[in-house]
Every structure is written in C-alpha cells, then in structure tokens.
Amino acid sequence: MLDMNLFREEADLIRADHTKRGIPHDAIERVIELDQSWRNLLHETDQLRREKNEAARGIGAAKKAGDHAAADAILAQVADLGERISAMESQTNEAMETRDRLRMSIPNLLHHDVPQGADESGNTVHAVHGEKPSFSFEPRPHNDLIEMNRWVDLKRAAKISGSRFFFLKGDLARLEFALQQYAVEFLRQREFTFVQPPVMMNRQAYEGVTDLADFETVMYGIEPDKYYMIATSEHPLTAMYMDETIPEEQMPLRMVGVSQCFRREVGSHGQSDLGIWRVHQFTKIEQIIIARPEDSWALHEELLKNCIDLWNSLGIHYEVVNICTGDMGTVAAKKYDLEAWIPAAQQYKEIVSCSNCTDYQANRLNIRYGQPGHPNQPVVHTLNSTAVATSRALVAIMEQYQLEDGRVAVPYALQPYMGGQTVLEPCEWG
RNA sequence: GCAGUCGUCGCAUAGCCUGGUAUUGCGCCGGAUUUGAAAUCCGGUGUCCCCGUGACUCGGGAGUUCAAAUCUCUCCGACUGCGCCA
C-alpha cells in the first residue's frame, strides 16, 4: 500500500508510474477525492464531538453540586448530539474504508530500471549463466523421467487429494531433501538466519503482504477456522514484525525460510505445466531481508548475487530476466527472475523470483525501525527472493542432468548430502 | 479442552471494586547550568486532522450510558494448574 501522503503531496509520481505501466489514472483521482471527503467528514465529526464534550463536562460538576435541575438541562441539550455523532461516525469510517480498499489495489511505484512492456514478452535478458547442455541422445521431458523411474506418483495423489498434488518417492525425494539442506547451509554462510515459519496466517496479517485478488486465486482458506495457508514463507517472514519497531542496530535482518507452500493455481492449465512443474503444494527455501530504505537497492542486488552463486554451484544453465511493467504485479518495485533451460521444451522457464517491495508491504504492516519509543519512526523496506523452489529445481536438474538410460546424475554440490551418490536410481516399486 | 490470574503510551507501573481531565518511575529528545561530562533543574516524549482552548487512544470488536481504562458480552493473546497428544 502506498503512503497516503504520497497521494496528497506527490500524486504526479503515482500518475507517471501508471502512465509507464499503461493503466488509467482513475483510481488515483478517486483515492484523492475519497480522502478529501473523509477529511471533511472527520472534521465535522470532531466539531460535533467537541460540542458534546464541552457540554457534558458540566454534568458531573452540576451533579456534584447537587444541582439536578442544571444537570437535567444539560442532558436535554446534549441528547441528540450523540445520535448525530454516531451517524457521522459511520459515514466517516465508511469513507476511510472505501478510500483504503481502493488504495490497496493501487500498485507500488516502479524502479526506473524496469523495462516497459505489455506482458512477459517485454521482459529483458539481464545476464546468461552456464551453457546449454548437449546430449548425444534425444533428451526426455521431466514428466517422462519421473514416470519411467517411478519417482513421482501423480495418479494416487489425485485419488486421495486432487490434481496437481504428488507423492515424491525414492532417490528423487532424497534429492529434494538434499536441496533443502544445501540451500539453507549456503545462505547460513552468508549471514542469513534459518527460520521455520507457521504455514497458516490470519487475514489481517495476510492483507499486509499480498495483493487482495490473491485471496481468490492463490491462497487456500481454512474453514471453520479463519486461516489462510501460506503461498510462500515470504508472507509469514515479512509479516513477522507487523506493528513493531526494529532496533536500528539489528538492520538489515536477513532470514532464510523453509516451508511448504500452498497455491490454488486458479486459471492455470495447459501442456506446459505437465509433471510437477506447477503444483498445489511444494517446498521453497526463501531469502528475506528487512532493510533501511537507503540500503534496499544494494541488498536487492545481493539477493540476486546469492541466487546466481547458488544456481551456478548447482551447474544449471539459466538466464536472469528483468521483469517488465506488464508482468510486474502489484507489490514489487523491481523484480528479477531466473529462468532455467528446459531442453526437451527448448524453453527457459521460471525457477526464481527476486523482488524489492520497497515500503509497499511495510506501510500496510506498519513495520518501522529506529529506537523503540521515538515518534515518527521511518518505515522499513522488505525484500524477498526464492533461493530454491524444490519442485522446479528438481525439474531443472532432471532435464539438464539426465542420462541416456533415463536416470539422472546428481549435481556435484549435492553429492555430500546424498551420501556420496552420483546417480539417482529408479524407485523399485510403483 | 477445562479452570484460575492477567493484558494500560518504548519498558515498568497506578487508576478499575464505587463510570466524569490516563498517574508515577526508567529510558529517550530539547533546553538551562558546565571548559566538557556526570549530577541537578525545566519542558517534551502514542495516533489523526483543517495543528486547536481540536478529536481519538488503556489487547480487538460490540453493548449499556449524557459520559467507559473502569460495568456487561464476545473474540484474541500471555501466564499457572489439570487433562489430552506427536
């Protein structure tokens, strides 16, 4: 959510941003109008309250003095003020709620480096790492490899849960576990603290970290308890400091979170999502930084550097992409994606997303930094980046490390976490 | 899950029974004093707005009332004990 003062004092910045995104300005103007009418209503309400308070102050004094006639006179005078005030109050609250509901739908201000474009075809290549693997045979798509090795059971998962759920079996499950441990240790050595978050959150905290539309299309809601399953550990780890002031000497806070992630994937379909590429439940190792505003752009590059070093160490060939205006979404001010080469499909596909959300989440969550107790503390910036989403990492490894017989070589860096094993063997049953 | 105790400004505390201006200490900020510091003294130290002799604020919400930190209901959270459980 953008700061209200931005609409009041620097609305042209927001207008210019909408122009760059190619979206209409109506919502901005409407927020400004709604704010003005809220402020008018608030002032009127305050005047009525003042009138009532001034009158009511006499009641206690009159009663104490035993002058019941005077007290009754004031009671009569004040009688209907209360009703007028509560009518005004509900109007005032409604005006503010309408303003803020609309304000929450207005996207973050973009960094000037963000390229313009209508959709993902406008993303620009920022860097290329590694080389396309060459095969002396026709490489298989990962959905064939998981079937012939009996590593993934989609059918039985569909039977007991639904489509896009999966059982992960044998050596591929062990490799998944190895990825988790490797990624956490990798980031621990770069001053990130390992944190395991809750996987359910309440609505209020969740509204602080996500686009409102995500409640319909992304998150699972839990009934009858009013919780939401987290779509990524970014959400609990960012909301963690809601309504707090972080001591300045602790900044920046670096965390590496690991959690199961749950996504409805409403509207997703198609051949490109076969196998375990797009699933309802997967594990993700995530980098989170809570920073002072003046440090956040350097730290965004640090997050990207960590991804690059990590994925280079896994020996995966990928591109770094600078996400354009049309593909950006609501919360991030700038976003890099890592897209891994998928040889069977002859495509680069997204495996990592690395964002600086500036103060957009922190405004809504009311996270500040400085010395606790001081007035007017500055708001923090929040940043997040995938380290490894294991389901997609497994796809990239299987596709790029596959052998002619359908087995898959283990990336060198993961071998110590696999008891020295160098090749994934098929599961014996299935 | 049951029972009890509790939730007040950054921290700590008073006020609650008996409704009527939210107390005090620490910390912090500014000023005075000082060569400088400590000590001492004075003032400030939650949020909002049109910045005032303004409004709001006592875990969240609702109710009673002219008036709620205070009374009632409800939800959330903490602690203690019991029960259950990986």
Q: What is the mean pLDDT of residues A302-308?
A: 98
In this complex, the answer to whether residue A79 has its CB under 7 A from any atom of chain B, a nucleic strand, is yes
DSSP per position, A123-147: -EEEEEES-----SS-PPPHHHHHH
ipTM field: 0.87
Q: What is the mean pLDDT of residues A58-76?
A: 74
Per-residue pLDDT, A247? 87
User: pLDDT for A169-205, tens place per residue?
Assistant: 999 999 999 999 999 999 999 999 999 999 999 888 8
Q: pLDDT confidence of A129, banded at 50, 70, 90?
A: very high
Per-residue pLDDT, A87? 83
Q: pLDDT confidence of A91, banded at 50, 70, 90?
A: confident
What percentage of chain A has pLDDT greater than the value 90? Answer: 73
- Closest-lying nucleotide for A54 based on CA to C1': B53
User: pLDDT for A29-53, tens place per residue?
Assistant: 999 999 999 999 999 988 888 888 8
Q: Which residue has the tokens 């009041």?
A: A8
Of these ranges, A62-71, A219-228, A397-406, the one predicted with the greatest mean pLDDT is A397-406
Q: What is the mean pLDDT of residues A352-361?
A: 96
CA distance A366 to A246: 11
Does the structure show a pLDDT above 90 at A243? no
Q: pLDDT confidence of A93, banded at 50, 70, 90?
A: confident
In this complex, the answer to whether residue A84 has its CB under 7 A from any atom of chain B, a nucleic strand, is no
Q: pLDDT confidence of A148, banded at 50, 70, 90?
A: very high
Per-residue pLDDT, A271? 65
Q: Which residue has the tokens 């993961």?
A: A414
Q: Which domains, ranges and CATH numbers included, belong to chain A?
A: 4-104 (1.10.287.40), 120-424 (3.30.930.10)
CA distance A299 to A305: 9
CA distance A311 to A406: 23
Mean pLDDT, rounded, of chain A: 92
Distances, alpha carbon A308 to alpha carbons A183, A327, A343, A415, in Å: 12, 22, 20, 20
In this complex, the answer to whether residue A50 has its CB under 7 A from any atom of chain B, a nucleic strand, is yes
Q: Residue A22: exposed, middle, or buried by beta-carbon count in 10 A (0-12, 13-18, 19+)?
A: exposed
Per-residue pLDDT, A376? 77
Q: Are A88 and A48 in contact (CB under 8 A)?
A: yes
Q: Which of A85, A105, A100 is nearest to A42 (CA)?
A: A85
Nucleotides of chain B in contact with protein CB (under 7 A) are 9-11, 20, 27-28, 45-50, 54-56, 66-67
CA distance A335 to A124: 11
Per-residue pLDDT, A307? 98
Per-residue pLDDT, A272? 67
